[in-house]
Chains A and B, each alone.
Chain A
Amino acid sequence: QKEVEQDPGPLSVPEGAIVSLNCTYSNSAFQYFMWYRQYSRKGPELLMYTYSSGNKEDGRFTAQVDKSSKYISLFIRDSQPSDSATYLCAMSEDKIIFGKGTRLHILP
């Protein structure tokens, strides 16, 4: 079992829809949980990070961590075509481990 599992997609949703992106993990020692956005041929950009369990909101983005289920989510409200990118979950105990990324397409 891989340490971090993430569905690669692609995920296509209409503009304005709520997007739900998810990752599962196996290492219960992970403490920090991050979401990155990566546009084609660019480096990843940190969107949000959460320490331990709970929710965190930033504008249209909400991150959730459920440590009991080893499951994290990123919700995007009022999705825009500019949100089309690959979304990477990442988590760390000492080193940072990334998921494979989910390709998201927002259809105008």
Chain B
Amino acid sequence: DAKTTQPNSMESNEEEPVHLPCNHSTISGTDYIHWYRQLPSQGPEYVIHGLTSNVNNRMASLAIAEDRKSSTLILHRATLRDAAVYYCILRPYNQGGKLIFGQGTELSVKP
């Protein structure tokens, strides 16, 4: 399984943008990039995913490098509720939705 590398932790101030980086230098051409987050005492929840182009949804934006070896999850205005562990995951297109979670980035948001 292709591996991702994320910082263990990051801090942000409330109402400021947050850029969460992810390196995936061994990504294959058919791997999708998925982001999930896990709020305290809850199961993970889907945030966003992409293949090659940048993506936006109501929760966040995903910026994918041109060579696809890295990506960045962007939270445009962090709130206290965004404090969570954020996981960057590579999903092979032919493995039926199987996800392998790494250690993720623990994001703390200061008021």
Do A and B belong to a common assembly?
no
